[in-house]
């Protein structure tokens, strides 16, 4: 492979030309692969070629045919070497990634957006998929599943397999997962340690409830408590973030004897009877009674009335308590970085004064760490630690189990006591399988230094996105930290007009290039980048290059 690469380098003195060769060879392979499997990936590769021809009219190097014949010769010799076609695919990917890495200084230069970026190499072949096709699934979804179930992309993606930070569609095409199943798959898809822990546990006992003892739930609770500051030592396990927030709100109400809760505009905390009240985006709030929740101004540094002045927003909370409540409240609930709301970081210096106001009014402070927890922010294990406060209750879900249905509430022994007044029970909560998986997740995060990786690679990714903002007017804001990043698109930087249609187009193009990201914010104009924490620097480059390339073609 190296011999081939170096001979290619000799053939093309100019790096750009090498990039072109690489591009040609990739698209050829894509086409070849698609003819074997299906035509969908061909449509993804198709727009690349005209775009290139337009931007490189002065090419004087070897012709496509010449290179192609070399490629074919090389490919056929490889094919002889490896009887299995899958392995060939892998070898070729390896080869291109080597080239990609060699090329990266050029890719980062202005000309990056003229060359379709290539997904980093990954030493893995997905098992062949023999299940139903996207169309069949779509038909069944329409017949048997909720009409409120939506999907991304004009032609929705049939994701059949996942491996670490990559997903595979029905044709075996690989995508970089920049969304992590909505900030959920923290260790990486089907991480071997987590899968092994689950498989080991299901063969001994899956479910017996907490009526009997079992060490899994106790061990996991102890390990989770270990990750918590202060007196936060008592854990309640649930099955989701909604359940966790429902429980947290009830605990706050019971502990204080007050009903009034304060949450932030643009928050998402769940969709059950209590949590829908705390959620504060009209498109997630159905028209039913949602009493007892007051929504304070959102300390959004980009769109908020007071910019980054955290103390001014904090004053609004105090005002709300003084005028809108009896002066005594049950509590305050917040996401350290708003997820569904479009990765909005709370203005600096906001939480400390709010914490004081809440305490003065007798309330409890609840940190919703459903998206920002488990090392995702890089700088800290929990999002709230980035503003230097210790909440009374912490709720979590998503990343806690790497995709296993699991949620948790952690609080102090004193506050936890209120639940002994009556019975609280959760059938599945903390069952042996989910507990074991959750425990495995904690160990993987630690052993693989994923927090450090989120910090280093996340900062690099944010830096590159910030640089991209200088190039593309449409990027209004780049924000977040670690691997919870947002890119807000606007058609007018001054008016901050949401670029609703442009974001959809960009997202489609990125998908065609092989990058999956999320979308959020009240206007749906924010890219949410919350990948598995094993995301590499090469992945980050690929993601930014794909965004650059796509935005250049808007």
Chain residues 225-254 in contact with another protein, contact rule CB under 8 A: 225, 233-237, 239-243, 246-247, 249-250, 253-254
| Nearest residue (CB) to another protein, 249 versus 347 | 249
Q: Is the Cβ–Cβ distance between 542 and 457 less than 8 Å?
A: no
**Closest distance to another protein from the beta carbon of 61 (Å):** 40
Helices (H), 257-335: 275-278, 310-324
Per CB under 8 A, which of residues 501..520 are in contact with another protein? 518
332-371: which residues touch another protein (CB under 8 A)? none
* Least distance CB 111 / another protein (angstroms): 33
Q: How far is the CB of 18 from another protein (least distance, A)?
A: 35
Give the angle 501-505-508 at the CA atoms, nearest 5°.
Answer: 140
Give the shortest CB-279-to-another protein separation in angstroms.
10
Q: Considering beta carbons, is residue 136 or 492 the nearer one to another protein?
A: 136
CA quadruple 440, 446, 448, 451: dihedral sign: positive
The least distance separating another protein from the CB of residue 48, rounded to whole angstroms, comes to 23
User: 501 phi and psi, to 5 degrees?
Assistant: -75, -35
352 or 524: CB nearest another protein = 524
At its nearest, how many Å lie between another protein and the CB of residue 83? 25
Among 58, 83, 211, 495, binds another protein (CB under 8 A): 211
Closest CB 167 distance from another protein, rounded Å: 7
**Closest to another protein by CB, 182 or 554:** 182
How far apart are alpha carbons 443 and 449 in whole angstroms?
Answer: 10
CB of 263 to another protein, least distance (A): 14
Q: Where are the alpha helices (H) located in 257-298, listed in sequence order?
A: 275-278
33/184 with CB nearer another protein: 184
DSSP for 389-408? ---SEEEE-GGGGTTSS-EE
Q: Which is nearer to another protein, 130 or 495 (CB)?
A: 130
- Beta strands 261-264 and 331-335 are parallel
Residue with smaller CB distance to another protein, 63 or 146 = 146
Contacts of 481 (CB under 8 A, 6+ apart): 337, 345, 377, 378, 379, 386, 458, 459, 462
User: Which segment (315-323, 359-367, 400-408, 487-495) binds another protein by CB under 8 A?
Assistant: 400-408
Report 29-58 residues binding another protein (CB under 8 A): none
Q: Which is nearer to another protein, 354 or 418 (CB)?
A: 418
Instruction: Report, in Å, the least distance between residue 195 CB and another protein.
Output: 5
Of 256, 263, 391, 416, the C-alpha closest to 327 is 256
Q: How far is the CB of 79 from another protein (least distance, A)?
A: 27
133 or 379: whose CB is closer to another protein? 133
Pick from 59, 405, 537, 552: which binds another protein (CB under 8 A)? 405
Strand partners, 488: 477, 526
- Pattern of binders to another protein over 113-152, x per CB under 8 A? --------------x---xx-x-xxx-xx-xxxxxxxxxx
Supply the minimum distance, in Å, between the C-beta of residue 58 and another protein: 41
**How far lies 316's CA from each of 198, 256, 483, in Å?**
47, 22, 30
Return the number of the residue (51 or 159) whose C-beta is nearest another protein. 159
CA angle, 395 as apex, 207 and 239 as ends, to 5°? 25
Based on CB atoms, which residue is closest to another protein, 153 or 359? Answer: 153
Residue 131 — φ and ψ, nearest 5°?
-80, -175
Are 195 and 377 contacting, i.e. CB atoms less than 8 angstroms apart? no
Closest of 317, 334, 410, 332 to residue 371, by C-alpha: 334
**Which parts of 170-209 interact with another protein (CB under 8 A)?**
179, 181-182, 184-185, 189-190, 195, 198-199, 202-209
CB of 13 to another protein, least distance (A): 43
What ranges in 295-426 are assigned the alpha helix state H? 310-324, 351-360, 413-416
Give the pair of three-digit tokens for residue 514: 């092989």
Cβ distance 442 to 414 under 8 Å? no
Nearest distance from C-beta of residue 177 to another protein, angstroms: 8
Contacts to another protein from residues 88-117, by CB under 8 A = none
Task: Rank residues 123 and 470 by Cβ distance to another protein and give the closer one.
Answer: 123
Q: Does 287 bind another protein (CB under 8 A)?
A: yes
Binding mask 455-494 for another protein (x = CB under 8 A): ----------------------------------------
CA separation, residue 211 to residues 208, 394, 426, 530 (Å): 7, 25, 11, 37
8 Å CB contact between 302 and 446: no
Per CB under 8 A, contacts with another protein among 418-437 are 419-428, 430-431, 433-434
Dist CA 462 CA 469 (whole Å): 10
**Residue 392 Cβ, how far from another protein at the closest point, in Å?**
15
How many residues bind another protein (CB under 8 A)? The answer is 114
Distance CA 20, CA 68 (A): 12
CA dihedral 455, 531, 396, 281 (to 10 degrees): 110
Residues in Cβ contact with 125 at an 8 Å cutoff, skipping those fewer than 6 apart: 86, 87, 89, 90, 172
Select from 28, 165, 275, 377 the one that contacts another protein (CB under 8 A): 275
| Interacting residue with another protein among 112, 221, 375, 517 (CB under 8 A) | 221
In the region spanning residues 149 to 168, those forming contacts with another protein, defined by CB under 8 A, are: 149-152, 156-162, 167
């Amino acid at each position: 492979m190296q011999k081939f690469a170096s001979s290619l380098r000799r053939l093309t003195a100019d790096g750009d030309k090498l990039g072109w060769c690489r591009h040609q060879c990739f698209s050829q392979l894509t086409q070849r692969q698609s003819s074997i499997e299906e035509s969908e990936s061909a449509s993804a590769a198709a727009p690349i070629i005209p775009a290139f021809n337009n931007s490189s009219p002065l090419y004087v190097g070897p012709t496509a045919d010449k290179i192609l014949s070399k490629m074919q010769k090389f490919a056929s010799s490889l094919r002889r070497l490896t009887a299995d076609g899958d392995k060939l695919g892998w070898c070729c990917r390896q080869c291109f990634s080597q080239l990609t890495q060699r090329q990266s200084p050029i890719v980062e230069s202005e000309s990056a957006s003229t060359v379709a970026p290539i997904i980093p190499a990954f030493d893995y072949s997905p098992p062949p998929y023999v299940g139903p096709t996207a169309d069949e699934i779509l038909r069944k979804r329409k017949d048997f599943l909720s009409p409120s179930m939506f999907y991304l992309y004009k032609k929705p993606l049939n994701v059949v397999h996942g491996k670490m930070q990559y997903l595979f569609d029905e044709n075996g095409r690989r995508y970089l997962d920049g969304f992590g199943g909505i900030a959920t798959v923290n260790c990486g898809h089907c991480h071997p340690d987590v899968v092994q822990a689950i498989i080991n546990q299901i063969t001994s006992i899956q479910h017996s409830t907490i009526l009997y003892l079992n060490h899994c739930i106790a061990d996991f609770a102890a390990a989770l408590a270990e990750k918590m500051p202060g007196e936060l030592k008592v854990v309640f396990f649930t099955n989701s973030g909604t359940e966790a927030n429902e429980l947290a709100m009830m605990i706050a109400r019971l502990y204080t004897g007050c009903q009034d809760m304060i949450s932030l505009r643009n928050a998402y905390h769940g969709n059950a009877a209590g949590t829908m009240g705390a959620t504060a985006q009209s498109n997630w709030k159905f028209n039913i009674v949602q009493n007892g929740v007051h929504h304070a101004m959102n300390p959004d540094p980009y769109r908020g009335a007071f910019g980054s002045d955290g103390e001014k927003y904090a004053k609004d909370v105090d005002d709300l308590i003084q005028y809108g409540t009896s002066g005594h409240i049950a509590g305050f609930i917040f996401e350290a970085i708003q997820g569904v709301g479009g990765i909005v970081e709370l203005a600096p210096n906001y939480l400390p004064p709010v914490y004081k106001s809440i305490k003065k009014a007798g309330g409890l402070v609840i940190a919703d760490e459903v998206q920002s927890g488990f090392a995702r922010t890089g700088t800290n294990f929990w999002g709230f630690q980035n503003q230097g406060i210790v909440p009374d209750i912490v709720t979590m879900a998503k990343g806690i189990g790497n995709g296993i249905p699991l949620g948790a509430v952690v609080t102090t022994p004193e506050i936890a006591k209120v639940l002994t007044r009556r019975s609280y029970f959760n059938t599945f909560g903390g069952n042996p399988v989910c507990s074991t998986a959750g425990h495995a997740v904690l160990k993987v995060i630690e052993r693989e230094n994923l927090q450090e990786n989120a910090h280093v690679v996340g900062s690099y990714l944010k830096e590159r996105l910030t640089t991209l903002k200088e190039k593309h007017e449409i990027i209004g804001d780049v924000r977040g930290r670690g691997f919870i990043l947002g890119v807000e698109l606007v058609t007018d930087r001054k008016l901050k007009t949401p670029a609703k249609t442009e974001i959809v187009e960009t997202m489609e193009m990125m998908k065609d290039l092989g990058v999956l990201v999320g979308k959020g914010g009240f206007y749906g104009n924010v890219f949410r980048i919350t990948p598995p924490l094993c995301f590499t620097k090469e992945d980050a480059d690929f993601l930014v290059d794909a965004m650059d390339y796509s935005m250049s073609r808007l």
